Amino acid sequence: MPAHKLVLALTLTLPTLAVAQAPAPAPGVRFTNVKYGFSATFPYDLKEEEKKDGEITLTAGNPEDTIAYMFSVFTVSDEVLKRKPVAKILDDAVGGAVENVKGKLVAKTDIKIDGFPGKAFDIKSDQYMARCRIYLVGNRMYLPMVIFQPDLKLPLDPAAFHSSFKLINPKH
């Protein structure tokens, strides 16, 4: 399965109405989006798709489609936030990602960013490895991930990509 298809499978179901796109930064340049409250560094040309209802997906991959760096931001409904504990929301998101790619969860741990809860998790499929993080910040979920064939040399280590993710003015 090409990396871009795995990227699409890992994202949760998002509305498909695209709106105007901002210019993408040059490869290896820090991307900042104040509207969605984050910044991160991507090693390849970046494609940005902003969707209806406060959702955005960023993808950057190699020409061979064997390495992809991805970042999604989406909104969690107030109903879900009231009905489910934070740990359950995060676990459900991890489970959905694993199920969508028909992969196997090989690692999962609790993490935090700026005091907000999250999960670090790795998914292995037949051809790819996905190193993922997911954070719940207020009613937003942030999902940075690196998807790659395990035998490839990556231009930016997954740990460095995840460390590059910073929140901008998060609301506690």
Sheet order of strands, 129-137 included: 47-51, 55-61, 67-75, 140-148, 129-137, 116-124, 104-113
Asked if 7 and 70 count as a contact pair (C-beta separation under 8 A), the reply is yes
Q: What is the Cα–Cα distance from 79 to 65, expressed in whole angstroms?
A: 38
pLDDT the model gives residue 2: 56
pLDDT the model gives residue 137: 97
| pLDDT tens readout for residues 105-163 | 999 999 999 999 999 999 999 999 999 999 999 999 999 999 999 999 999 999 999 99
53 — alpha (psi -120 to 50), left (phi > 0) or beta?
left
Question: β-strand 38-41 against 55-61: which pairing, if any?
Answer: unpaired
Which of 123, 75, 74, 118 has the alpha carbon at shortest distance from 95? 123
pLDDT of 17 > 80? The answer is no
CA neighbours closer than 13 Å in the CB half-sphere of residue 88: 6
pLDDT the model gives residue 151: 92
Write out the H or E segment, with its range, that includes residue 9: helix 3-10
The correct answer on CATH 3.40.190.10 for the domain covering 3-13+56-167 is no
Q: Is residue 83 very low, low, confident or very high in pLDDT (cuts 50, 70, 90)? A: very high
